[in-house]
A and B are shown apart, each in its own frame.
Chain A
Amino acid sequence: MESNNNSLRQQIADMRQSLFDEEMLDRHYRTVEELSDKDHPNFAEEVMTMYFRDSTKLIAIFENALENAPFNFIVLDKYLHQLKGSSASIGAKKVWEKINEMRDCLRERDIEGTRTVLQQLKKEHDNLRGRIEPYFRMLRQVGPSEIAQRPK
């Protein structure tokens, strides 16, 4: 039982490290993790759940707004600003980078470019969700002591 748990902890540590190594997450995610404590052991998971719920909605709204002219560039940029803010706060590095690319396209009034980068953004967003959700599922299996042992 003990060795099963150790093997699970190692798997979790490796999953976590790979998210940083592949630059899907950056150091800002470490701040989110640091805010979990014994009274709120699932804080990081709660924040990430909130993030994916809001960002998925915002991406859908943005994609819809990009369907038909006339385009309101101020409103489009506001959506991206919101998405950028949340993504930066939780350390979603690759997602944040794509948002910046989209903002550059919008500044150039390049709608086709924006649409192309939007598809890349959606891919990065889905990739991150696809990696972080199983990570949290496994974290819940080992319980709150994993938080105390998490490497800095």
Chain B
Amino acid sequence: MVKMEDIGARILAGDHQVQYGQNQRTKIKALVVDDNMINQALHRTLLRNLGIENHVVGNGREAVDVHCSGRRFDLILMDLDMPVMNGIEATKKLRAMGIQSTIAGVSSRSVDENIQEFWEAGLDDYQQKPLNFPKLVSILQKVNHSV
């Protein structure tokens, strides 16, 4: 099986045709949680180009609901500022439900701004938007593909 780190190294060297789905028995599944349509399109396409199956919801409440319906994901890309339910509340709720997926906070706030509360809600990683291939690879290296 191809190691995540080797795939990541190839992507960072400019090979964007490498697929995280190759040589895996099941494809990695990701959930994009973001209220901004531009970011939804960008994150979906970044994931798709890496062969990662993905689903999109528009706020934290929808992220919780999709899990209540029984769906599970290896990776959740969680925006912070969203209407209805923000990323902090959604992350707390998902962890309280026993969801062990890798949750990466993705927000326009820099690491210098106060994102401590977001981390404490249960994140595994945090990247400042906009996402790009190197940042996504860095997140993917934390994914434990056991879903």
**Chain A residues packing against B (C-beta within 8 Å):** 28, 31-32, 34-35, 37, 40, 43, 46-47, 50-51, 54, 81-82, 84-86, 88-91, 152
Q: How many A-B pairs with Cβ below 8 Å? A: 52
Please tell me the number of chain B residues within 8 Å of chain A, measured between CB atoms.
18
C-alpha spacing A90/B81, complex, angstroms: 19
A85 touches B45 (CB 8 A): no
0 or 1 for each of B119-147: is its CB under 8 Å from A? (1 = yes): 00000000001111100000000000000
Q: Quick check: is B54 within 8 A (CB to CB) of the other chain?
A: no
**Chain B residues packing against A (C-beta within 8 Å):** 14, 16, 36-39, 41-42, 45-46, 49, 81, 108, 129-133
CB distance from A51 to the nearest CB of B (A): 6
Find A85's partner among B49, B108, B132 (CB 8 Å cutoff): B108
**Chain B residues, Cβ within 8 Å of A43:** 45
- 5 A–B contacts, CB within 8 A, in A order: A35-B42, A47-B42, A85-B39, A86-B36, A89-B42
B108 touches A84 (CB 8 A): yes
C-alpha spacing A35/B49, complex, angstroms: 7
**Chain A residues, Cβ within 8 Å of B16:** 34
**Chain B residue with Cβ nearest A30:** B132
A47 touches B49 (CB 8 A): no
CB distance from B35 to the nearest CB of A (A): 8
Find B38's partner among A31, A40, A86 (CB 8 Å cutoff): A86
B45 touches A40 (CB 8 A): yes
The 6 closest A-B pairs by CB, nearest first: A89-B130, A31-B132, A35-B45, A86-B38, A28-B130, A85-B108
**Chain B residues, Cβ within 8 Å of A40:** 45
Contact A88 B130, CB 8 Å, known A32-B42, A35-B42, A35-B46:
yes
C-alpha spacing A128/B81, complex, angstroms: 27
| Max chain A C-beta neighbours (<10 A), residue from B14, B45, B81 | B45
CB distance from B109 to the nearest CB of A (A): 10
C-alpha spacing A133/B24, complex, angstroms: 42
**Chain B residue with Cβ nearest A83:** B36
**Chain B residues, Cβ within 8 Å of A35:** 42, 45-46, 49
CB distance from A61 to the nearest CB of B (A): 15
B129 touches A85 (CB 8 A): yes
B133 touches A81 (CB 8 A): no
CB distance from B137 to the nearest CB of A (A): 13
